[in-house]
């Protein structure tokens, strides 16, 4: 290419080089995916152009039909992927093909392991795209021209993937991008058209744009189906059609747990094709995770639903597409925010997903449990985010309980079936970790009375329980809050005088560390525990909020002591000054049992040693 001008050499951003090196090593056994990635970029560029041309029809020039072409040159040992999409201008080439703009790729680098298979899956999920070309090529050139610019504005990008790339001006008549791979030694299999076609069919069959290959005699053959799969009638589609489409959409290697394909006719027509994945993507909990549905209007790709307008955040694991016949093609993000049509599509889609989950829970509880272990934490955001559906979502929740400690598989309905005849609430305990809640002293009285308690140890549980206050007419009650009267008779008896005296002395010793000290009716084996008043934030919740930087009004817990415990009996008889140490120690023990931290651990140790001495 002798007529290039203004050549410049640029360094790759450090992470790009790192990514390239890692990718070449870890994906070698899966190297055919480079073609999927290049085709996917070409299709994205075509989609973008279609969208931009709605506003600016001139961008189509006189070539409005999108297409992707694969060309092989056996002599030069090159494979090219050519599109007539948006193309790139010089700045875009430098920005997009020299840096890693997306934070997802950075996280991919962090998540990389030494395990090749895992990395291949990872890379699939992150879709690191363009750079995968270097797995099979020892040199890559990109010749591109931005739609709407003059042929002289064409740009040539060249790199051997070794730290640098060159960029130069090179006129290009055709709009769009041509990526040419100069195959490395031993990559001749990718000169075989038959092999290329089978890769395209495997990975890119449902790309809604024709993918053509130039045969040796120059004739063009269309390789893929090139139709929007979701527009075909259900009866024509097999499970494997859906799976292939799902794989292309999500790069997920596992087939989906459920596929929901619906065509809604009538006043508002739209088609939705929704998938419930069977495994969680890596970025499920990232604020900018690539979750979300894709919105189409009459087969034209409009945008990804990053703002969760089509599907709420607590269902962000649902993948798929919505294709509306009635939205305007020039729909903008702002318009999406306030659109009754979108509201209706959203409500109907939520309903479809909840229906499907209920069906799965009822008919295939084991698969539902595996769904739960992948996405349960996300679904627990539901009652907070979507109060209108809170009761339905609550029915889908699963928990550990004192009845079932091996897996979180207890539903609220299961719990209700096991309730005692006079039991008036669904009991639960929240805390820092499963170990902390399942060994908590708060459970002692419940164990004694054989009352089941749900054990909640995820951070989201604190929010969940502030919003989910009843289920099926039964209130949910935190067992670490308020007074507990499981056995009315016991609690009405006034404490013995020695115990009342002890309580007064402990109160004095603890000062403003506690708001009260009282006799407990929830302990059998432990000497003391901490509780908060009904209506106050739980101890664990207070700690989480403080850790997140919230300024909370100080709420001191209540220390409850168990007068039947040997230590308390002994303390009640004690008269010397060491009672102060004992009081503080009881308090500190109780903080530790809650999974909390001591403000002054050194004093705790000294105090304990004094008493042991």
Ligand X SMILES: Nc1ncnc2c1ncn2[C@@H]1O[C@H](COP(=O)(O)OP(=O)(O)OP(=O)(O)O)[C@@H](O)[C@H]1O
Q: Which residues bind ligand X (CB under 6 A)?
A: 37, 41-42, 45, 83, 85-88, 96-97, 127-131, 177
Residue 84 annotated as binding site:
no
Q: Which of 107/263 has CB closer to ligand X?
A: 107
* The dihedral sign for the CA sequence 229, 230, 233, 235: positive
Nearer to ligand X, 98 or 382 (CB): 98
* 3 annotated to bind ligand: no
DSSP, residue by residue, 392-412: HHHHH--BEETTB-SSS-B-H
Minimum distance, C-beta of residue 71 to ligand X, in the bound complex (Å): 14
Q: List b or e across 254-269, with b for residues whose CB sees 16 or more CB atoms inside 10 angstroms.
A: ebbbbbbbeeeeeeee
Residues 239, 244, 248: CA angle, nearest 5 degrees: 145
Query: Residue 571: how many CB atoms within 10 A of its CB?
Result: 22
Report the nearest approach of ligand X to the CB of residue 131 (Å).
Answer: 6
All residues at 6 or more sequence positions from 553 whose CB lies less than 8 Å from its CB, including other chains: none
CB 143 within 8 A of CB 82: no
Min separation Cβ 102 and ligand X, Å: 6
SS (H, E, C) 159-200: ECCCCEEEEEECCCCCCEEEEEEEECCCCHHHHCHHHHHHHH
8 three-state secondary structure = strand
Q: In this complex, which beta carbon is closest to ligand X, that of residue 110 or of residue 512?
A: 110
Shortest distance in whole angstroms from residue 607 CB to ligand X = 57
Question: CB of residue 249 vs ligand X: minimum separation in angstroms?
Answer: 11
127 marked among binding-site residues: yes
Q: How far apart are CA 256 and CA 262, in angstroms?
A: 16
> Does 37 count as an annotated binding residue?
yes
For residue 115, the minimal CB distance to ligand X (Å) is 21
Choice between 20 and 42, CB closer to ligand X: 42
| 126 among annotated binding-site residues | yes
Cβ proximity to ligand X, 60 vs 177, nearer residue: 177
C-beta of 87 vs 557, nearer to ligand X: 87
- Which C-beta is closer to ligand X: that of 103 or that of 439? 103
Report the 3 state secondary structure along 120-156: HHHHHHHCCHHHHHHHCEEEEEEEEECCCCCHHHCEE
Residue 46 Cβ vs ligand X, minimum distance, rounded to whole Å: 8
The span from the CA of 409 to the CA of 211, in Å, is 47
544 among annotated binding-site residues: no
Query: Which residue sits closest to ligand X, CB atoms considered?
Result: 129
Residue closer to ligand X by CB (options 305, 461) is 305
Nearest to 170 by CA among 149, 182, 186, 156: 156
Residue 81 in marked binding region: no
- Give the helix/strand (H/E) hosting 104: helix 103-111
Q: Which two tokens stand for residue 351?
A: 């309903």
Residue 599 is assigned to a ligand binding site: no
Annotated binding-site residues read 37, 41, 83, 88, 103-104, 125-130, 177, 333
Annotated binding-site residues for ATP read 37, 41, 83, 88, 103-104, 125-130, 177, 333
């Amino acid at each position: 290419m002798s007529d290039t001008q203004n050549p410049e050499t640029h360094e790759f951003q450090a992470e790009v080089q790192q990514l390239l090196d890692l990718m070449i090593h870890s994906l070698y056994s899966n190297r055919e995916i480079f073609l999927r990635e290049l085709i996917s970029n070409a299709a994205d560029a075509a989609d973008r152009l279609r969208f931009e041309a709605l506003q600016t029809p001139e961008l189509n020039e006189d070539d409005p039909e999108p297409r992707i072409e694969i060309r092989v040159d056996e002599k030069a040992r090159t494979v090219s992927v050519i599109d007539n999409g948006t193309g790139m201008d010089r700045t875009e080439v430098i920005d997009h093909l020299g840096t890693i703009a997306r934070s997802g790729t950075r996280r991919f680098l962090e998540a990389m392991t030494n395990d090749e298979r895992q990395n291949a899956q990872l890379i699939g999920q992150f879709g690191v795209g363009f750079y995968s070309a270097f797995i099979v090529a020892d040199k890559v050139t990109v010749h591109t021209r931005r739609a709407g610019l003059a042929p002289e504005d064409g740009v040539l990008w060249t790199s051997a993937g070794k730290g640098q790339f060159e960029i130069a001006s090179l006129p290009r008549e055709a709009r769009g991008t041509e990526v040419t791979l100069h195959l490395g030694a031993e990559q001749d299999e990718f000169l075989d058209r038959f092999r290329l076609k089978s890769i395209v069919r495997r990975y890119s069959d449902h790309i809604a744009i024709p993918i053509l290959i130039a045969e040796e005699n120059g004739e063009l053959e269309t390789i893929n189906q090139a139709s929007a799969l979701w527009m075909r009638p259900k009866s024509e589609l097999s499970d494997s059609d859906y799976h292939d489409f799902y794989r292309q959409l999500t790069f997920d290697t596992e087939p989906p747990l459920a596929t929901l394909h619906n065509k809604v006719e009538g006043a508002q027509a739209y088609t939705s094709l929704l998938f419930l994945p069977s495994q969680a993507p890596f970025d499920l909990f990232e604020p900018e995770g690539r979750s979300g549905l894709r919105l189409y209007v009459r087969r034209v790709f409009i945008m990804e639903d990053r703002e969760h307008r089509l599907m709420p955040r607590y269902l962000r694991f649902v993948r798929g597409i919505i294709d509306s016949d009635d939205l305007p093609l020039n729909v903008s993000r702002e318009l999406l925010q306030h659109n009754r049509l979108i509201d209706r599509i959203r409500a109907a889609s939520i309903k479809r997903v909840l229906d499907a989950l209920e069906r799965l829970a009822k008919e295939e509880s084991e698969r539902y449990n595996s769904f739960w272990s992948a996405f349960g934490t996300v679904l627990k955001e539901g009652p907070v985010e979507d109060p209108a559906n809170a009761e339905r979502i609550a029915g889908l929740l699963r928990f550990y309980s004192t009845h079932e400690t091996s897996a979180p598989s207890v539903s609220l309905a299961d719990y209700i079936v096991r309730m005692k005849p006079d039991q008036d609430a669904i009991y639960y305990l929240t805390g820092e970790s499963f170990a902390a809640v399942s060994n908590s002293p708060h459970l002692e009285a419940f164990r004694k009375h054989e009352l089941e308690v749900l054990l909640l140890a995820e951070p989201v549980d604190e929010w969940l329980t502030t919003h989910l206050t009843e289920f099926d007419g039964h209130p949910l009650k935190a067992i670490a809050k308020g007074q507990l009267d499981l056995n009315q008779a016991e609690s009405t008896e006034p404490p013995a005088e020695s115990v009342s005296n002890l309580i007064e002395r402990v109160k004095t010793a603890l000062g403003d560390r506690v708001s009260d000290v009282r006799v407990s009716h929830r302990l059998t084996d432990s000497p003391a525990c901490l509780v908060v008043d009904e209506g106050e934030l739980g101890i664990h919740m207070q700690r989480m909020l403080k850790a997140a930087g919230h300024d909370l009004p100080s709420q001191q817990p209540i220390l409850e002591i168990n007068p039947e415990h040997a230590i308390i009996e002994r303390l009640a008889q004690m008269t010397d000054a060491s009672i102060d140490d004992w009081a503080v120690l009881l308090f500190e023990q109780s903080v530790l049992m809650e999974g909390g931290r001591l403000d002054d651990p050194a004093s705790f140790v000294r105090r304990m040693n004094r008493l042991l001495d």
